[in-house]
């Protein structure tokens, strides 16, 4: 398998993972009667700009972003805002 095929396969897997995850979120929200919800809008092509090429890298990237957001909130709360 060459690098182009591997990259295309990883992109397809990543896009399928995102689509399945979004469908599950939408189904849960509809079942719970939600009037508004948000899903993940990035595609594999867009995620490549952040160095994310696989499902595992996406999970790591999200975890890091969540840690950064939590740290930002902790710092903001430390000022009593």
6: confidence class by pLDDT, cuts 50, 70, 90: low
| Span 4-19, average pLDDT | 89
How many structural domains compose the chain?
1
Domain with 63, as residue range(s), is 3-78
Shortest CA distance to 78 belongs to which of 70, 63, 64? 70
Tell me the torsion sign for CA atoms 55, 59, 61, 65. positive
Confidence at residue 1, expressed as pLDDT on a 0 to 100 scale: 47
Tokens representing residue 63 in the block: 């975890």
Say which DSSP state 51 is in: T
Confidence at residue 61, expressed as pLDDT on a 0 to 100 scale: 96
CA 81 from centroid of its chain's CA atoms: 29
pTM: 0.80
Confidence at residue 5, expressed as pLDDT on a 0 to 100 scale: 58
């Amino acid at each position: 398998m060459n690098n182009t095929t591997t990259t295309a396969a990883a992109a397809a897997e990543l896009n399928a993972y995102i689509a399945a995850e979004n469908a599950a979120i939408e189904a849960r929200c509809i079942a719970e009667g939600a009037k508004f919800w948000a899903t993940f809008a990035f595609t594999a092509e867009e995620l490549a700009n952040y160095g994310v090429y696989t499902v595992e890298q996406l999970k790591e990237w999200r975890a890091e972003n969540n840690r950064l957001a939590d740290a930002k909130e902790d710092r903001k709360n430390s000022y009593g805002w």
